[in-house]
Amino acid sequence: MGASNGAAALEVTGLEAFYGKSQVVFGVGFSVNHGEIVTLLGRNGAGKTSTLGAITGVVTSKATGLRVDGHDVRHLPSFKRSRSGIAMVPSGSRAFPNLTVHENLSMVRGQGSREGWGIDDAYDFFPKLGELKDSQGGQLSGGERQMLAIARAMVARPTVLMLDEPSEGLAPLIVAHIGKLLRQLANDGLAVLLTEQNHRLALAIADRACFIEKGEIAWSGSAKDARSDEVIHRYLAV
């Protein structure tokens, strides 16, 4: 999953998103490099989920540029964007409750021919899922379901892994553990883009941050600079 041509893993410019005639994202631009975690922060309703949806292709959008590893994906429908390397872990858990962990992972295997994770790699990386491989998705705890959702996304062999509010509804210890796992995946070369209400977790593991306000990027910079009280207060205080 390393950089093949020196391009950013994900490059977004001039992104606009629409629900019918209502525009909710206005000219958003940012990039995520291989090995990097970028977090998209902002108040409720700012446009974080819509931005991710525009990138995966499930929300109507226009962009002056949308590139994965340098390849223009704007013309691709959603399922082809996922084959081209964009993986999404939506908020809440989407594992199939009546399938076992192993069946959940097997379903996404072998789409396309990208190099990367197999199911055994998923069990190596998440030993807990290996122990639970015959358990049904619906029997897992919130943290285990989140790991399964991430493992499912990784088995699809993405260039960029996008997660919408991965800490939602999880206990602090589990959140810290998942944060550590995401950092480890990035250190192995994955590009990670995550939205969070939990800015502490996000800024603790991210390299860079973008604050979105009313559908526009209002601030972007290093995660370190974003941790300043002034920035947090300006863009997140209600």
Ligand X SMILES: Nc1ncnc2c1ncn2[C@@H]1O[C@H](COP(=O)(O)OP(=O)(O)O)[C@@H](O)[C@H]1O
Q: Which does 79 bind (CB under 5 to 8 A by kind): ligand X, Mg ion, none?
A: none
Which one of Mg ion, ligand X, none is in contact with 47 (Cβ closer than 5 to 8 A by kind)? ligand X
**Measured between alpha carbons, how far is 8 from 68 in angstroms, rounded to an integer?**
7
Q: Is 92 in the site for ligand X (CB under 6 A)?
A: no
CA atoms of 18 and 129, how far apart (whole Å): 38
Rounded CA separation 49/197 (Å): 11
**Is residue 158 involved in binding ligand X (CB under 6 A)?**
no
The 29-48 site mask, x for binding Mg ion (CB under 5 A), equals -------------------x
- Alpha-carbon distance values, 143 to 130, 148, 201, 219 (Å): 15, 9, 15, 31
Q: For the beta carbon of residue 134, count every other beta carbon within 10 angstroms.
A: 9
User: What spatial distance separates the first Cα and last Cα of the chain, rounded to whole Å?
Assistant: 39
Asked if 48 interacts with ligand X (CB under 6 A), we say yes
How far are the Cα atoms of 74, 98, 117, 149, 170 from residue 175, in angstroms, in the given order?
Answer: 33, 25, 23, 14, 6
Q: How far is the CB of 209 from ligand X (least distance, A)?
A: 14
Stretch that binds ligand X, among 6-14, 40-48, 154-162, 216-224 (CB under 6 A): 40-48
Cα–Cα distance between 184 and 235 in angstroms, integer? 28
Exposed/middle/buried for residue 192 (C-beta within 10 Å: 0-12, 13-18, 19+) = buried
Query: Given the complex with ligand X, which of 151 and 217 has the nearer CB atom?
Result: 217
67 pairs with which residues across the strands? Answer: 11, 72
Q: Is 198 in the site for Mg ion (CB under 5 A)?
A: no
Closer residue to Mg ion in complex, CB, 43/128: 43
The verdict on 19 binding ligand X (CB under 6 A) reads yes
CA dihedral 228→211→196→160, nearest 10 degrees, is -120
Count of residues near ligand X by CB under 6 A: 10
Work out whether 49 is an interface residue with Mg ion (CB under 5 A): yes
Residue of the chain from 50, 61, 82, 159 that contacts ligand X (CB under 6 A) = 50
As given in the structure block, the two tokens for residue 172 are 């602090």
- The interface region with ligand X, picked from 2-10, 37-45, 135-143, 173-181 by CB under 6 A, is 37-45
Q: From the CB of 120, what's the least distance to ligand X, in Å?
A: 35
Question: Which residues form the interface with Mg ion (CB under 5 A)?
Answer: 48-49
List contacts with ligand X (CB under 6 A).
19, 24, 42, 44-50
